Chains A and B, each alone.
Chain A
């Protein structure tokens, strides 16, 4: 019986890791907390490979969360807080980088690939539609049968 109790307690141990991850901050109200959570989820922890400031347990993430909280208390807007962090840690901290020439590929690349793919498909379909009557006659024509 005691063993089972101990085992049950051991199973709870991993929860400690979650419990210590983010320290509670003294928010005035729920709206403020929601705003804080949303903002820190849009910002990347500079120390970590790919974690948001909200999720990270790195010391710098803790410090930056505190900094964000204090700036919110001081009445700074989300844009001002982001600009503050970008001034110090570059665009790296933003999960959504600004649209500018060097990020065009990032923003519009997928669209370009999609359009190109669509064009290729469209061209193939039209071609096949034109050659279809002929190819039914010549069954051994292996052209385009991928």
Chain B
């Protein structure tokens, strides 16, 4: 028995390191699970892009579920997810709120003019303070917020058709089941 001990110890180490490698490849290290899921969205009141006199706050969006998409004209991945946003996500039939994060309003307006504007309304978080309350740490990020203002789901990184099919649709189905 004891002559096999080194082999057993070696095997255990292999298993441990193998698990480490598998874990790191299977999980996106940048995807921090938001502690805000299933908690009320933070209160915010942010100006509308292109019309500083108008403000949108959390209260005014209550009543029906909506997507909050964090984007910026500086964000490369946002260009990649843009067709999905104006295609598959739009087809889900929920209001789409743009959260212009740490951006120059002029750049944002130009960016939306160039690529098309899929948003029902775009709110501006110029200095990123509201972003911190939402636990935003980059762009793109997308939140699903229900009619009561509770964050139900968060996706970090660009939205792909797969994300819409495998994550957004089930999340919406769960919402629909709850409040028929």
Contacts and interface: CB of A to CB of B under 8 A. Distances in A.
Interface residues of B, number: 24
Nearest to A70: B129
B135 A88 contact: yes
Contact of A47 (B2, B5, B129, B138): B138
Contacts of A64: 132
A8 B102 CA distance: 37
Interface residues of A, number: 20
A87 B35 contact: yes
A90 B132 contact: no
Nearest to A89: B135
Given A47-B30, A64-B132, A89 B35 contact: yes
Interface string A64-105: 100100000000000000000011111010000000000000
Q: What is the predominant secondary structure among interface residues of chain B facing chain A?
A: loop
B132 A67 contact: yes
Interface in B19-42: 29-30, 32-36
Interface string B97-133: 0000010000000000000000000000001110111
A144 B9 CA distance: 16
Most B-side CB within 10 Å, residue of A67, A86, A89, A144: A89
Given A88-B132, A90-B33, A144 B138 contact: no
Interface of B: 2-3, 5-6, 9, 29-30, 32-36, 102, 127-129, 131-138
The 7 closest A-B pairs by CB, nearest first: A46-B137, A88-B135, A90-B35, A60-B137, A92-B32, A63-B128, A47-B137
18 contacts: A59-B102, A60-B136, A60-B137, A60-B138, A63-B102, A63-B129, A63-B131, A63-B132, A87-B35, A88-B132, A88-B133, A89-B32, A89-B35, A90-B34, A90-B135, A120-B5, A124-B2, A143-B3
